[in-house]
Amino acid sequence: MMQIALNLTWMNVSWDLISPFVYRNLWPMLFTIIGGMQCQRYAEIEAQKGKSSDDYSRSIDLEKKYQIIYADPPWKLQAGGPNLHAKQRGNRPLCYPTMTVREICNLGINLRAHTSDDCVLFLWTTNKYIEESYRVARSWGFSPSTMLVWCKKPKGRGLGWTFGISTEFLLFARRGSVRAKERHWSTWFEAARRQHSQKPEIARDIIDKCFEGNKLELFARQKVDGWDCWGNEVDSDIEL
């Protein structure tokens, strides 16, 4: 008992001696450390809020699904000679990079995340790649339905040998259950030629008239009101 009493007495005396030092030095230091930790935590919370906001914005973009896909792939072709009226002519390389059928098919891997379960596809193709266009549509998850035809006024001898080629083709394919809001009168349309490989606006008009929903153009050359786009000549709205 005596020993315990001595120990308690010593503790009281010791505290009396060191308490001024604690109040003057240790407590301010402790508050400074705690305050710094709180400031750091607040900064981390604010940074996380900003990050969460960015993530939320990105998630909104990823959640956007398209019901209409319009694509003009750069099929591996060559341009005709500089003079379409000449009997003898050679082919020229195109002025833009082309893609193989396999490369075009592989775009469907990432495209699927951006498309709705109920979706339509309009895929431009040429006489040479009609068969492959069905393969591309299926690889992108669509069932081919109808081939639309763009009829062009012949220009000189044109391309082709036995028959001068004056048509291009727009494959219509669908996935899921999609109903047209209006029935189009025919599977062919006539429109004037434009710059090389540039498609007529009437095709987009037909699409707008028949279907509604979020619209995405692939291999786009320019921005069009009401359409998101992807391609190497525009600021793309999605990544593939």
- pLDDT of the chain along its 240 residues, tens only? 545 444 544 445 454 555 555 455 555 555 455 555 554 554 554 555 444 444 544 444 557 999 999 999 999 875 555 555 455 554 555 556 889 999 999 999 999 999 999 999 999 999 999 999 999 999 999 999 999 999 998 876 667 778 888 899 999 999 999 999 999 999 999 998 877 668 999 999 999 999 999 999 999 999 999 999 999 999 999 999
The answer to whether 75 touches 105, Cβ cutoff 8 Å, is no
β-bridge partners, 217: 70, 229
> What's phi and psi for 145, nearest 5 deg?
-125, -60
**CB-based burial of residue 199 (10 Å sphere; 0-12 exposed, 13-18 middle, 19+ buried)?**
middle
Closest CA relative to residue 201, chosen from 219, 212, 213, 189: 189
Q: How far apart are alpha carbons 240 and 232 in whole angstroms?
A: 11
